[in-house]
Amino acid sequence: MRVLTGIQPSGKLHWGNYFGAMRNAFALQQKGEAFLFIANYHALTTVRDGQRLREATRDVALDWLACGLDPEKTVFYRQSDVPEVQELAWYLSCITPMGLLERCHSYKDKLAHGMDATHGLFAYPVLMAADILIMQSDLVPVGRDQKQHLEVTRDLAIKFNNAYGDCFKIPEPYIPETVATIPGTDGQKMSKSYNNTIQLFEDLKSIKKKIMGIVTDSTPMEAPKEPEGNSVYELYKLFATPEEAAEMAAKFRAGNYGYGHAKKELFAIYERTFAPFRERREKLAADASYVEDILKAGAARARQEALKTMDKVRAATGF
């Protein structure tokens, strides 16, 4: 079973990335042949500074390696180091119905949040399909908001296979039922687009300030509170053992336990969980060539698979 995951270097990674994608990827690298790419082509829809993109790409690689990615078990590479992806995106574009892209709700949502209406943003699902299909992926972990894009990938693979013969595997989505939407500091889904994130490795003072600023209701401290649906409690549960989560829930329901108390506990459990990751990241960052060597080795392995697929596609389409 081949598993493929991508992550955009469009900003600092945050708690939503860790609990929504990273932990699942670390678990899946134990169960099959894992591929993970840094989607720097995709990031061009929002990042217009070359130096910033290069730095963000390295930061993303450091974050994943510090938090548990094993390059011996996962093919880890930059999207731009596999140029065949762009070639395949054109082949797929030529069989993609406009109506299929026009129905994608992610494009409309991003426009509603102020992003520019560019062709790159509109055609994002086609490039995503190329990322997935070129590696002949069996399973693709996606968030619920990306499920529609994977359905587009499946539709394009079937359409292409029907037109040209059996070139692609039809990938299946992997959406863990145990991971709900990660709330941001304002109660919406945590997302860089909404400027409501808590970064994985920012300064501890900054993280504490953001946690203490999480939006809550005005229920008095002495009053009992329902923990479920409360952003502070929902975030705490992500770090906590079932016993720790149950203890906080009981405190909320008993009363005389305020949101400020819960926020302090949330900061403490984050600090405890991420202390070893912070230490590992500092060590990795001190070796200037470490990340680059891993990404180059991963790209060499990824291109071997990409070229196998493109040999089929070129022959089938007449090139």
Residue 186 domain-assigned? no
Query: Which CATH number covers residue 87?
Result: 3.40.50.620
> Is 110 a residue of the active site?
yes
The one-character DSSP state at 200 is: S
214: domain range?
202-283
Q: Are residues 68 and 145 in the same domain?
A: yes
List b or e across 165-184, with b for residues whose CB sees 16 or more CB atoms inside 10 angstroms. eebbbebebeeeeebeebbb
Is residue 272 a part of any domain in this protein? yes
> CA–CA distance from 1 to each of 35, 137, 161 (Å)?
11, 8, 21
C-alpha 277/C-alpha 286 separation (Å) is 14
pTM of the predicted model as reported, rounded to 2 decimal places: 0.89
Exactly one of 12, 73, 169, 189 is catalytic; name it: 189
Q: How many domains does the chain have?
A: 2
Print pLDDT tens along the chain (319 aa): 999 999 999 889 999 999 988 998 898 888 889 999 999 999 998 899 999 999 999 999 999 999 999 999 999 999 999 999 999 999 999 999 999 998 888 777 778 877 788 998 899 999 999 999 999 999 998 876 677 879 999 999 999 999 999 999 999 998 776 556 799 999 998 988 789 999 999 999 999 999 999 999 999 999 999 999 999 999 999 999 999 999 999 999 999 999 999 999 999 999 999 999 999 999 999 998 999 999 999 999 999 999 999 999 999 999 9
The single residue listed with the structure tokens 């968030």 is: 143
Asked whether residue 187 is domain-assigned, the answer is no
Residue 170 within a domain: yes
- Regarding whether 161 and 99 lie in a shared domain, the answer is yes
